[in-house]
Amino acid sequence: MCQHTKSASVGCDPIMQGRRKRVIRFLACFVLHLLLSLGALAQQEVTFPQVPSERLPVWRGYGEQVTAILSLPPETTEKIPAIVLIHTRGGYDHGHYEFYGAPLRQEGFATLELILFRVNPTHLPSDLVPHAFGALKYLASHPRIDPNRIGILGFSLGGILAMYTASEVLATEHLGSTPRFAAHVPVYPTCWIHEGVARGRERQKRLANVYTKLTGAPIHILAGGKDQWDDPDTCQKFIEALTPDARRSILLTYYPDATHTWDKPSSSHFSPQACKGRGCQVRNIYDPEIAQKGRQVVIEFFTSALLRTQTK
* Percent of the chain surpassing pLDDT 90: 54
Is it the case that residue 39 has pLDDT exceeding 70?
A: no
Mean of all residue pLDDT scores within the chain: 81
Q: Is the model's pLDDT at 109 over the cut of 50?
A: yes
pTM here? 0.79
The DSSP secondary-structure symbol of 214 reads: B
Can you give the pLDDT at residue 294?
A: 98
The β-bridge relationship of strands 250-255 and 267-271 is unpaired
> At a CB cut-off of 8 Å and minimum separation 6, what does 133 contact?
51, 165, 170, 171, 174, 175
How far is 179 from 149, CA to CA, in rounded Å?
10
Which pLDDT does position 139 carry in this prediction? 92
- The stretch 90-110 carries a mean pLDDT of 92
For range 53-74, the mean pLDDT: 55
Q: Is the pLDDT of residue 254 over 50?
A: yes
Least confident of 11-25, 178-192, 289-303: 11-25
The predicted-structure confidence for 159-214, as pLDDT tens digits, reads as follows 999 999 999 999 999 999 999 999 999 999 999 999 999 998 876 667 888 999 99
Residue 11 clears pLDDT 80, i.e. is over it: no
Lowest mean pLDDT among 13-27, 53-67, 259-273: 53-67
Q: Using one digit for the tens of pLDDT, what is the confidence trace for 266-292? A: 988 888 878 888 888 989 999 999 999
211 Cβ partners below 8 Å, 6+ apart?
A: 167, 169, 194, 197, 198, 241, 242, 246
Q: Is 164 in contact with 210 (CB distance < 8 Å)?
A: yes
Q: What is the pLDDT of residue 59?
A: 30
Taking the alpha carbons of 210, 215, 216, 221 in that order, is the dihedral positive or negative?
Answer: negative
At 40, the pLDDT band (50, 70, 90 cuts) reads very low
- Summarised one tens digit per residue, pLDDT across range 111-162 is 999 988 765 666 688 888 988 998 999 899 999 999 999 999 999 999 999 9
**157 close to 260: Cβ distance less than 8 angstroms:** no
pLDDT given for residue 25 in this prediction = 57
> 18 pLDDT exceeds 60?
no
pLDDT digits (tens, 9 = 90+) for 217-236: 999 999 999 999 999 999 99
Instruction: Determine contact, residues 118/91, Cβ cutoff 8 Å.
Output: yes
Q: How far apart are alpha carbons 172 and 177 in whole angstroms?
A: 6
The predicted pLDDT at position 22 comes to: 57
